[in-house]
Structure 1
Amino acid sequence: MHGDEPEKSTNQLAVWRDLLDALDKLDVAWENAQPPEPDTPAFTQLPGNIAVALAAAVEDGAKAISGMTDVLVAQHDSGEAFQQVALALRHAVNQWPTGR
């Protein structure tokens, strides 16, 4: 650890662990949403209210993942590896159709 870097508090580490847990749950939920047959479309036409809610939730999720990717870019040992992905995610968030 560098002398000029503040030590992370226990609370900060708990927040990051909660975030990792939430991402694991998202991955499991997405896997569960996939159809059992490989050639079946993942979704048929969604009801309008679900599609609108999904669009808003995905926008929020994209913003969060974009922010987390920015954190990875700031890491000294692996940051450059994530730079192009971070730029692409920021672009995707900025282009999101609902633009809330």
Structure 2
Amino acid sequence: MSRRIVRLLVTTMAVGFIVLGSGCASDDDISKLRIEVKQAKGAADRAERAANDADSAANASVRLSAEALNAAEAAHACCRANTEKRIRAESKLGS
């Protein structure tokens, strides 16, 4: 999405420079071009902010997943230790 917006921004600016450079642009054309470039820049800025937000959310998700995995591993180790204790206690009773 942001690549399309950046491409639009660059294309719009390139067309604008060609039109302005050829001297065939009216004041209306120039003002329309400026508006389009500002809109494209605004869209690119919004896309960049959205990408940064998505990156932050992905990093938070990875962190939370790692914490959940650590908790699951700790619970598994605790369960295994309790099972071993129970087996030892049962074997002492059976002896």
Identify the TM-score tier after normalising by the shorter chain.
0.3 to 0.5
Give the TM-score of the pair, scaled to structure 2: 0.37
Asked which structure has the greater RCO (Cα within 8 Å, sep 6+), the reply is: 2
Give the TM-score of the pair, scaled to structure 1: 0.35
